[in-house]
Amino acid sequence: MIRLFFFNFMVIVALVSAMLPGLVSAAPLIQEGQTYTVQKDDNLWAIAEKYLGNGIAYKAIAAATNAKHEEDATFAVIDNPSLIQPGWKLFIPSAQEAAEFMVAPEPTGQIVIAQTADANTLDPKYLKGRQTQNVLRLVFDSLYHRDNNMKIVPWLATSYENPDERTWRFHLRRGVKFHNGNDFKANDVKFTLGRLLEDDSQFSTRNFVDRVEVIDDYTVDIITKEPYAAFMTRVVLWHMTDEEYFNEVGPEGFASKPVGTGPFKFVEWIKDEQMVLEANPDYWGGSPKIKTVIFKPIPENATRIAALETGDVDLITDVPPDYVDQAPEGVEIMTIPGTRAFYLGMNVNWKPFDDVRVRQAMNYAVNVETIIENVLNGLARPIDNPLLPEAFGYIPTPVYSYDPEKAKSLLAEAGYPDGFEMELDTQPPLKEIAEALAGQLSEVGIKAKVNIMEKAALYAKYEPGFSQTFLTSWGNSEADADGMLSKQFYSNRYRCNLLGPEGETGYGNTELGCYYTGYANAEVDAYIEAGARTVDPEKRKEYYAKALKIIVEETPWVFLYNPSEVYAKRTRVQGWVPRSDALIILDKAWVTD
C-alpha cells in the first residue's frame, strides 16, 4: 500500500517539480532519502531548511518518517511536528519527493460508510454511541487525541502542564479556525466544558471537573475536584465548540448546522437516510484527501453486507464474524481487537456464588478458546483479568485455564459434588455464547437455565443485583485501569456503598443500578482509590497490579473474551486502518476510482 503510494508519487514528481522550482530550492539538496537521528536542540523546521532548503518542508519529513515507521518501527512517529525528541530516527525524503508532498492535492472522491445506526444528534453535548462519535469526530477536534495506536497526543492543545495536582493547564494551538472562520481560543474550551457540566449532560465530566479558568486567549486551566490521574483519557472526548457561533444560532441552530474545527465540514443530514460531510481544505492538520464523506445507517447485517457487495457502500462496520470467510473479490476484511471485555458476572451474595471456590470452579469449567473458535469464528482473544493488555495498569494473571477436573474438585470441596442449578441472564446477540457456556457448565454438573431478554430489561435486572449470573460486557475505551476497576470493582462506585451497613448496599436500588455482582473488598478499594489519586504512573501500576491479583483470585467474573472490531471495505478505500476504540478516522485515507 505504502509502496503503491510512493510509486504514484514518483510518477507525478517529474511534472510537479518542473512546475514548482521555487518552493524547494538552494541549499545542498539531497537527491535520495536518508535517515537522520535527532540531536539535542534540533527542531524540524531547521532540519528541513538544512536538508531540503525550506523550513516548510518539515511536513514532508514528518510524513515520510511516519510512512517509514509503518515498515520499520525503529523510525519515530511524529504526531506533533513541534515536539521531537533527541535520539528519534527520522527519514528525510529526497527533494523531489518533498516537493511532491508540498503540493497538497485537492481532496477528491467520495466514501460511503454504513454503520448500524444513525447519529442521535449533531450536538456534541448529547452525543450517544459510537455511531454518533464517528460522525462528530470528523467535524470536531478535541484538545488531545488518541492516535491509531491509542496513544494520547497533542491536538488542539500543543502541550499541558500541572501547576498543581488538581490543575491541568493547556496551551492551545494558534491559528486554528472553526469552519465559519472564527478563531479557536481559550473561551471556547471554557464554553465547551461549561455545557458538559450542565444538569442534562450525560458526560461524566461533571463528576471530576470543578471549573475552567481562562488564563489568556491561548492558555486555559481545567481544575478538577480532586486529583484525577486518568484525566487525559477524558480530555480526548471533548469536542470543542465555537462559543460565538453557538450563542448566535442557539442550541437548535447549532444541532442542525454544527461548526467545528475538524477535517470535515457538515453539509447535510437527512435523518436515518444520509449524513454528508465535505473536506475542510483549510484543516490545521492538513487537508484530508477525500472530498465527500457520506454516512448511511443500515441496521440489518445482511443488508449492510449486500450494500457493500453491490458497491453502493465502501466501508461497513459491525461485520458478523461468519462473513469473514465469505467475502468476495474486491472486499477486504479488517479487524482489530476492540476495547470490550465480555464476562459472566456472578452475584457473590447469592448462593452458591457466595463461595469463592464455586466462582473459581466456574472459571475452570469454561473453555473460552472453544467458544471463540466455534461461535466467534476466531475473532476474539481470551482475557485473563478485567483489563485488556493495551490498558494502562494491565498485568498478565494466568490463573485459570480450562480444567474440568479441577472445577469438579473445587465444587466438591465447596459442597456441590453433583453441581447445582443456576440462572444465566443475557440479551439476544449473546444467545449462542450463553448456550455454549451452559453446555460447558453441564459437563461439570452445573445446570444453567439461559434467560434471553432485551437489553434494557437485562440491565434493569442485573444492575440492581437481581440476576444470579449475567453474561454481558464492559467497554474500556479509556484504556486505563481506572476506567474499568473504579466502575466494576470499587465498592463505592456511583456512591453505591456496597460495604456500608445493611440496607445501604445498593442491592435492589433500581434508581442507582450499581450493584452488578455485589463484589466488594476494602483492600481492592484502597488500591483503586490510590490509583486514581496518584499521578506517578509507576506507583499507579503497582496499585493496579495488587488490585488485579485479588480480583482474579476472588473472581466475581468468569473471564471470557475480548472480541475484535470487524470491518469490511472495498479495496478502493486506501490508507484507512481500524482502531481498537472503533473510531473511524479519515484524515489520512484516500479513495481510488
Partner 1 sequence: MQYLLRRIVLIVPVLFGVSVIVFTIMHVIPGDPVRLMFAGTGATEEQIQAMRHALGLDRPLPVQYVNYVTRAIRGDLGQSIHFKQPVLQLILERMPATIELTLASLIIALAIAFPIGILSALKRYTFIDYIVMTGATLGVSLPTFWVGILLIMLVAVKLGWLPGFGRIDYEVHLQRITGFLLVDSLLTWNIPAFKSAFTHLILPALALGTAIATFSTRLIRSSMLEVISQDYVVTARAKGLHERVVIARHVLRNALIPVVTLIGVQIGNLLGGAVVTETIFAWPGIGRLVIQAIYNRDFLLVQGVVLFFALIRVTINLLTDALYVWIDPRISHV
Distance between CA atoms of 348 and 470, rounded to whole angstroms? 12
Phi, psi of 130 (to 5 degrees): -70, -25
Kindly indicate which of the ranges 47-55, 66-74, 122-130, 434-442 contains the residues binding partner 1, using the contact rule CB under 8 A.
122-130
The answer to the question of residue 550 lying near partner 1 (CB under 8 A) is no
**Start-end of H helices in 491-555:** 522-533, 537-554
Kindly indicate which of the ranges 115-123, 535-543, 545-553, 568-576 contains the residues binding partner 1, using the contact rule CB under 8 A.
115-123
Nearest approach, Cβ of residue 349 and partner 1 (Å):
21
Site size for partner 1 (CB under 8 A): 56
Candidates 106, 217, 273, 553: give the one binding partner 1 (CB under 8 A). 273
Candidates 511, 536, 538, 593: give the one binding partner 1 (CB under 8 A). 511
Distance between CA atoms of 99 and 110, rounded to whole angstroms? 26
The beta strands (E) that lie in 347-385 are given as: 380-382
Q: How buried is 430 (Cβ within 10 angstroms: 0-12 exposed, 13-18 middle, 19+ buried)?
A: buried
Pick 351 or 455: Cβ nearer partner 1:
455
CB half-sphere exposure, 13, CA atoms < 13 A:
17
Phi, psi of 426 (to 5 degrees): -160, -175
The answer to the question of residue 454 lying near partner 1 (CB under 8 A) is yes
Nearest approach, Cβ of residue 90 and partner 1 (Å):
40
Pick 296 or 359: Cβ nearer partner 1:
296
The answer to the question of residue 495 lying near partner 1 (CB under 8 A) is yes
Pick 61 or 383: Cβ nearer partner 1:
383
The answer to the question of residue 199 lying near partner 1 (CB under 8 A) is yes
Nearest approach, Cβ of residue 118 and partner 1 (Å):
8
Nearest approach, Cβ of residue 533 and partner 1 (Å):
16
Task: Please choose, from the candidates 234, 236, 226, 232, the residue with its C-alpha nearest in 3D space to the C-alpha of residue 204.
Answer: 234
Pick 94 or 488: Cβ nearer partner 1:
488
The answer to the question of residue 194 lying near partner 1 (CB under 8 A) is no
Nearest approach, Cβ of residue 313 and partner 1 (Å):
9
Under 8 Å between Cβ of 335 and 376: no
Nearest approach, Cβ of residue 123 and partner 1 (Å):
7
The answer to the question of residue 404 lying near partner 1 (CB under 8 A) is no
The answer to the question of residue 457 lying near partner 1 (CB under 8 A) is yes
Q: How buried is 152 (Cβ within 10 angstroms: 0-12 exposed, 13-18 middle, 19+ buried)?
A: middle
**Is the previous residue joined to 578 through a cis bond, with omega within 30 degrees of 0?**
no
Whole-angstrom Cα Rg for the chain:
26
Candidates 274, 377, 534, 574: give the one binding partner 1 (CB under 8 A). 274
What three-state secondary structure class fits 279?
Answer: strand
Nearest approach, Cβ of residue 446 and partner 1 (Å):
26
Pick 327 or 412: Cβ nearer partner 1:
327
Pick 151 or 455: Cβ nearer partner 1:
455
CA 265 distance to own-chain centroid: 22
Maximum separation of any 2 CA atoms in the chain, in Å: 86
Candidates 138, 298, 344, 362: give the one binding partner 1 (CB under 8 A). 298
The answer to the question of residue 271 lying near partner 1 (CB under 8 A) is yes
Q: Residue 580 has which C-alpha cell? A: 481498537
Distances in Å between the alpha carbon of 443 and those of 57, 368, 395, 440, 561?
66, 14, 31, 5, 20
The answer to the question of residue 226 lying near partner 1 (CB under 8 A) is no
**Count of beta carbons in the 10 Å neighbourhood of residue 493:** 21
Candidates 202, 326, 374, 592: give the one binding partner 1 (CB under 8 A). 202
Non-local (6+) Cβ contacts of 574 within 8 A are: 1, 4, 5, 589, 590, 591, 592
Under 8 Å between Cβ of 194 and 256: no
Distance between CA atoms of 415 and 135, rounded to whole angstroms? 54
Q: How buried is 574 (Cβ within 10 angstroms: 0-12 exposed, 13-18 middle, 19+ buried)?
A: middle
Of residues 304-363, those binding partner 1 (CB under 8 A)? 306-307, 309-310, 312
Nearest approach, Cβ of residue 193 and partner 1 (Å):
15
Pick 194 or 475: Cβ nearer partner 1:
475
Nearest approach, Cβ of residue 485 and partner 1 (Å):
11
The answer to the question of residue 451 lying near partner 1 (CB under 8 A) is no
Kindly indicate which of the ranges 14-22, 79-87, 89-97, 457-465 contains the residues binding partner 1, using the contact rule CB under 8 A.
457-465
